[in-house]
Copies of this chain bind each other. A is one copy, B any other.
Amino acid sequence: MKPKIEDVAKHAGVSPTTVSRVLNNRGYISEKTRKKVQESMEHLNYFPNEVARSLFIKKTHLIGLIFPTTNNPFYGQLIFHLENTCASLGYKVLLCNSQNREDKETNYVKMLQRNQVDGIIAGAHNRGIEEYDIPKLPVVGIDRYLSSTIPVVSSDNYNGGQQATQLLLDKGCKHIFHINGPDFLETPANLRRRAYEDVMRSNHLNPITYEFPYRATAEAVQEIILRLFNENPQVDGIFASDDLIASKVIREAKKRKINIPADLKIVGYDGTETTRLLLPELSTVEQPIKEIAEKAVEILIQQIDGPHDDIQLETILPVKLIDSETT
């Protein structure tokens, strides 16, 4: 059993009220008594119960994070910065890996409410339903529209898509394809695809997107890549909607003895630290992950601290093109 306030009182030879006064810095306490109580707390390894205190002040300083999985370079880096920013502001985080499963996500949202979190930051699947529309509970979405009233922070996906496509054009590609997930999800990431299509059309080229299904297995994504290569032997440029897909494209091209970048140029998306370390040759669009995390926490705490009419509903941060060795 963890030591209680009564144990400290007994050890110090004072009343529980006195211990409570020392803890809360309330009422008159002699220096001698204060010292005695503090020594007893240390001796017994007593920690003031933040759980009890949170009930009293009606604030837990807990923030729930709902993301598909930390087992992914983008979310791993994002969650690191979210936790780090929260910690620096006195907030703790409850981590939830929803694995893109609706049932898990719903259960996590309920669990977080039962645990009285002060707010939620979510970057999980958006089903356009009202799960996150919780009266009085601040929520911020990252790269996901959770509802019409919930602020969302993302990087400039449209500009990123433009830059990636333009880079391939500038390097002389004539047959550029795009690979992406399904666009029925209302995510800002769809803008990467829209930008690709717009840039292609404005250059009088036909945009073709190879789409893999939602929650596709590794095999399903691989199949789409194979199909792209098989159906389009003329392909000389591929813009993949994330670096992991780009990595699979590189792999398949090597298997087919296609020369990169001479005969095929590839651009990915995300530019996480892990990808830059393991696959530095990949040209990609780097998202400002740390800044996204800091902005999301800032907007969430702004809401927690009081009702604001001036919450910015959409925050878009600039991306950076990395022209490496695959272009």
Contacts and interface: CB of A to CB of B under 8 A. Distances in A.
Given A45-B135, A51-B116, A93 B95 contact: yes
Contacts of A26: none
Interface stretch (A8-16, A181-189, A270-278, A298-306): A270-278
A41 to B, nearest CB: 12
A244 B278 contact: yes
A256 to B, nearest CB: 15
Contacts of A93: 94-95
A273 B278 CA distance: 12
Contacts of A251: 280
Contact of A279 (B58, B134, B278): B278
B71 A83 contact: no
Contacts of A96: 83, 87
Contacts of A83: 70, 95-97
A65 B136 CA distance: 29
Contacts of A164: none
Nearest to A250: B278
18 contacts: A2-B136, A47-B113, A48-B114, A50-B115, A50-B116, A51-B54, A51-B60, A51-B116, A69-B80, A70-B75, A70-B76, A70-B80, A71-B80, A87-B96, A94-B95, A95-B95, A247-B278, A251-B280
Interface of A: 1-2, 45, 47-52, 54-55, 58, 60, 65, 69-73, 75-77, 79-81, 83-84, 87, 92-97, 99, 110-111, 113-116, 134-137, 218, 243-244, 247-248, 251, 273-275, 277-280
9 shortest A-B CB distances, which residue pairs? Answer: A76-B76, A71-B80, A50-B114, A278-B278, A95-B95, A71-B77, A47-B113, A70-B76, A47-B114
